[in-house]
Structure 1
């Protein structure tokens, strides 16, 4: 397989709904998951996780949760991106220790950062925005997966149209109000060719300094 650039991955990636039954190599799947976890997150909170679904029961469950969409029925791998809204209240000593060991953060920075991040998250909680921020972080990780999969010759489909309560039941977190579903994504080898439908001109969608008046 020839290595492609990030720009090429962005331009050639297409959303694929139909897949061949060929399994995804474990090493490729591990690479995708490792690269997903390299994605940035607010305050380095890393408030997102991925549940990997490959067995028949799990895929059948996600078929049910998505109203019968073809991706869970055909793709060998389904990824469920989970947003962890209360991650900021957990012990983050391991995050600080890793940054300290890597020489990225000083003791002074860690002390100030820890206090400031708690204050920021408390403000989000008071404004009811914890879920929004955690979902944003999970979506960034999902974007990393789509581009990394394209480099590996794999196809993906970021999925909408699912019932959150049903998805949570399938992955065993129906009793966890602190966890939310950010996205479902199928991964596998395309059984269809998708032609790029095109995008609007940058002049139509990119503005300088301010959004144009109506």
Structure 2
């Protein structure tokens, strides 16, 4: 695992070779194994492979090469309103697996509601949903590297245009957390290095 993490690079250029459907499904399944607040799983992944969708994402990213070249674009969607929806399947599965006690599962809907109402009152509901989506995206990047595929977490896109491209224009309860190309690399990128750990890793308090 250490080798996979250290060898992963952000790739901008891709070969047109398709990603096999079973592998794509496996990678998205692994991403969905990521933890989430209250296990609400308030994040989704939209897989875009069609010409029309890739063209729309190209426009949404200002013509960046990733969606023009990669055979797959992944859009990670954060769902800040998920706590209002029926998540009975979440509680039922956890209870059925013995992962949660009956008491914990029964209390979870109210606990999640109170927690997220407080977040909303402080303007933090979007932030928390985006965090969960980003954790899932990180899982997928590592899984893709282990499978011999390349990815790159993208910046520089219009959220409104991306929403339009995936059919959720005007949805204020949905937020675009990340765009990520997926495919076979058409370039080799050297590791640019990381700062000395003494500048970034501290004990007990920041900066020491």
Pairwise TM-score range, normalised by the shorter structure: over 0.9
Matched, 1:120 2:119: no
Q: How does 1:1-214 map to 2 (within 5 A)?
A: 6-212=1-207
Unaligned runs of 5+ in 1: 1-5
Listed one character per residue, the Cα deviations across residues 22-43 of structure 1 (whole Å, up to 9, x for unaligned) are 0001111011110010000011
Report what 1:3 is aligned to. Answer: none
Residue-pair matches, total: 208
Instruction: Tell me the C-alpha RMSD between the 2 structures.
Output: 0.9
TM-score by length of 1: 0.95
Distance (whole Å) between structure 2 residues aligned to residue 72 and residue 105 of structure 1: 41
TM-score by length of 2: 0.98
- Secondary structure in structure 2 of the residue aligned to 1:212: coil
Distance (whole Å) between structure 1 residues aligned to residue 91 and residue 37 of structure 2: 15
